[in-house]
Chain A
């Protein structure tokens, strides 16, 4: 039972460390702080760079209205994203001057309302780069409103009739079987929960993995490994480390789940149900064990942390894929792409937790992915054990892939 003693040692010495306390409580606070800070900055206008445009109105009709509408739209903004100035004259007369201003960056671009705007319903934008696309959308939308208003007036509609034509349609959300309207905050929380689960899982798994890598490198470089291996077997040592640091990651996850659950219930939301929490722990354990094999195997191959970290970065990049595809997963959790990716063991836990927390999975998918992960974990740990056993005592030697292959086959 030496591995239990090793596990307890690894767990105990790290749970009391400043690093763990900082990572467990500091990281969520940091993320929250950054999000709130970014939100504040966006709201205060600090993140906005006002774009300056000129408008040439060759219809001599719509220009003032368009400028007025946009001014009204951004009247309450401290830093409006768009500043549109109406210029009298035609494109032919002005374009040389305006092109020069655009090229020397005194102006971001200029819009032209052509004489046939009534029939063509098309504006022209002269600018430097694609960063103007968003502004083009804004001007396009405002111009559309003006054109519609103009056509409505041509039909001799009264102001009241005209106003009645422009209605905003809202959709109220209700949970099926409930007559109570779902509030926007609740919707937002439901929308963000799958993402939170993904991030949580990512942190939990990679915190444990990184600690494992460091623990192996520390023992390897300080030669503690020799004393340990003269006392316990390779398998006990590896199992103890994986278990101890896995429990550490699990502790972190339980803290996050409890905090999330308490915060949810404070706002009357039950986002983390016992079954979701249970499945989270299952996928955490499987994901951690899979990556533990990779991390411990890598740690046994390198003398320095820098080299080991470089090697592990490639694997970590794979795990970032679910985050990069976040919007696809949330929009289409059962699309072919997401379903295929769900069965790639390195990213299975992340995709599954998103789908589970959205209620977009089946029992079959849960059983199948758990089985797939279990087989992958077995393979990963077995390979890691072979690499660990041979590589851990090879100091100062650059190990080649054919050599690793030889150890694996041995």
Chain B
């Protein structure tokens, strides 16, 4: 478990993080969300002891003592790789620094897992953006750390590699690892995370179990798909609280009776399919952040 207790950090007169408290439970994946400049990267850097908080404390499994580097894996937001050395040399160097036992076997295993084994002797600069991100991720988990801190891990990855990364994270979760990652890709966070923490202007907006948060803060919607997409142009659907997306209209249920609502809609279009949809994380995110700035 990782606990951030009332941490604050300022750079001169700019407050980057203010009195922030977050708990990342062991064996769970926590999505760390926030708009640009919210203080996510600063928080993760404090977590990694790269910079020190001005006030507050960070505990790993209840202890203030920072775990040994070989127990933590960190993936920075931008590519932290030497460009002029090979993939193998990169991994060998960091494996050496983290005292990875039998590094060559580990390196080969992970390269194969991420389909990078053929590029083992390529220079990092010769790799595509996606492959560099994969290499970066391998470097983060090569030493099988207990705590994994990832800053935008899905950035630059195609859907196939996003899936591989998701599977690896879920696998690590099953092994009881404590994982926190920041992302702007709400769909990924929604699919992978058990918990979320949303911050804005350095302060916590909401945090906790993702399902509970959605139930508490989001409202259910009626997802209506008409026979013809053109029917969505009807004035009935042109109100600010109705979202048109992917050939469907998302109408907030609020406290309204579902049956009477369906009859109301049926009067303006021919319904092909209808179902009750959970609130999306993206919507929740926008709602919370806009709510603060309004």
Contacts and interface: CB of A to CB of B under 8 A. Distances in A.
Interface in A1-57: 2, 5-6, 9, 13
Contacts of B7: none
B50 A393 contact: yes
B236 interface: no
A226 B76 CA distance: 7
28 contacts: A2-B97, A9-B96, A13-B84, A13-B89, A218-B82, A222-B79, A223-B78, A223-B79, A223-B80, A224-B80, A224-B81, A225-B80, A226-B48, A226-B80, A227-B74, A227-B76, A228-B97, A229-B48, A229-B50, A230-B50, A230-B69, A230-B72, A231-B69, A231-B94, A231-B97, A232-B97, A393-B51, A394-B11
A6 B139 CA distance: 16
Contacts of A13: 84-85, 89
A298 B225 CA distance: 62
Contacts of A222: 78-83
Contacts of A232: 69, 97
Contact of A224 (B49, B72, B82): B82
Nearest to A403: B12
A279 to B, nearest CB: 35
A320 to B, nearest CB: 31
Top 5 A-B residue pairs of the complex, sorted by shortest distance between their CB atoms: A227-B80, A230-B74, A226-B76, A230-B48, A223-B80
A230 B97 contact: no
Contacts of A229: 48-50
A226 B45 CA distance: 8
Contacts of A228: 80, 97
B214 interface: no
A223 B94 contact: no
B99 to A, nearest CB: 9
B25 interface: no
A229 B94 CA distance: 12
Nearest to B78: A223
Given A222-B79, A393-B45, A227 B85 contact: no
Interface centre among B80, B85, B139, B149 (most CB of A within 10 A): B80
Given A223-B78, A224-B82, A230 B139 contact: no
Contacts of B139: 227
A231 B68 CA distance: 8
A393 B139 CA distance: 21
Nearest to B72: A230
B119 interface: no
A226 B77 CA distance: 10
A328 to B, nearest CB: 44
B25 to A, nearest CB: 22
Nearest to B89: A13
A226 B81 contact: no
Contacts of B85: 13
Contacts of A223: 76-80
B98 interface: yes
Interface of B: 11, 45, 48-51, 69, 72, 74-85, 89, 93-94, 96-98, 139, 149
A112 to B, nearest CB: 69
Interface in A189-238: 218-219, 222-232
Contacts of A5: 93, 96-97
Contacts of B77: 223
Contacts of A394: 11
A266 to B, nearest CB: 38
A108 B19 CA distance: 82
A393 B78 CA distance: 13
Nearest to A225: B80
Contacts of B89: 13
Given A223-B79, A393-B51, 13 more contacts: A5-B93, A218-B82, A222-B79, A224-B80, A225-B80, A226-B76, A227-B75, A227-B94, A227-B139, A228-B80, A229-B50, A230-B74, A231-B98
Nearest to A224: B80
A6 B97 contact: yes
B3 to A, nearest CB: 19
Nearest to B136: A227
A12 to B, nearest CB: 9
A222 B85 CA distance: 13
A230 B49 contact: yes
Interface in A219-277: 219, 222-232
Contacts of A218: 82
Contact of B93 (A9, A226, A230, A393): A9
Contacts of B149: 230
A6 B149 CA distance: 23
B68 to A, nearest CB: 10
B50 A226 contact: yes
A13 B83 CA distance: 12
B232 to A, nearest CB: 45
Nearest to B92: A9
Contacts of A224: 80-82
Contacts of B45: 226, 393
Contacts of B78: 222-223
Nearest to A13: B85
A262 B96 CA distance: 39
Contacts of B80: 222-228
A225 B79 CA distance: 10
B181 to A, nearest CB: 15
A228 B93 CA distance: 10
Contacts of B84: 13
Nearest to B42: A393
A393 B51 CA distance: 8
A377 B125 CA distance: 37
B84 to A, nearest CB: 8
A97 to B, nearest CB: 69
A271 B74 CA distance: 54
Determine which residue in A224, A226, A227 has the highest number of CB atoms from chain B within 10 A of its CB, and name it: A227
